[in-house]
Amino acid sequence: MHWFGLVIVTIVVAAAQTSVGSLLTINMVAPSFLLVTAVYYGFRWSATEAGIAGWALGLAADLTGASPIGAHSLCFALAAVIASRLRSVVMTDHPLAQMLVTGLLGWLAYSVIFTHAAWRDGWTTWSFGLSLKRAGWVALYTALLAPYLFWLLERAVPLLGLQPHSRRR
């Protein structure tokens, strides 16, 4: 694993998330470029390497979102590990598979993240249905953009020397 390349990709994607992602916000729902990148690494790298990459991307999401450190890091790491385990049964280069896996993992991750945020705020305005609904909208929006971001990552990541060792096609 090339750590320097991972740091560069994480910084670039986090910058894109805060700049372009904020421009793409619709009704307070923005796509998560960092989650798509974590799923991408999960599809391309071993479970251990994907988990580390997912944790780093989640940490970037925590830091750029001004939220307490932990929820994004844990959820993105688990999403990357699950994506790594799913690559033996999913055609990872098919856009529909990319959308479905990203959508499912995004919904699970953001359900936990939004529930954690409600718990942190003292359950004042929390509703489980509202958290699941909001997570669903974020996951849907992220999943719709996933094939395009996979395409960009597929071309950009090798330029940094981050060729995956355990790639399956």
For the chain, domain boundaries: 3-160
Contact present, 75 and 55 (Cβ < 8 Å):
no
**How far does the chain reach from its first CA to its final CA, in angstroms?**
20
Closest-CA residue to 152 (of 22, 40, 38): 40
Q: For residue 144, what pLDDT is reported?
A: 93
Q: For residue 167, what pLDDT is reported?
A: 47
pLDDT of 97 above 50: yes
Q: For residue 168, what pLDDT is reported?
A: 46
Give the separation between CA 151 and CA 64, rounded to whole angstroms. 24
Q: What is the dihedral of CA 58, 86, 110, 14, to 10 degrees?
A: 30
Model confidence pLDDT, tens digit, residues 77-87: 999 999 999 98
- pTM summary value: 0.88
Model confidence pLDDT, tens digit, residues 20-62: 888 888 888 889 999 999 999 999 888 999 999 999 999 998 8
Give 3-160's CATH code, choosing from 3.40.50.300, 1.10.1760.20, 3.40.50.1970, 1.10.1200.10. Answer: 1.10.1760.20
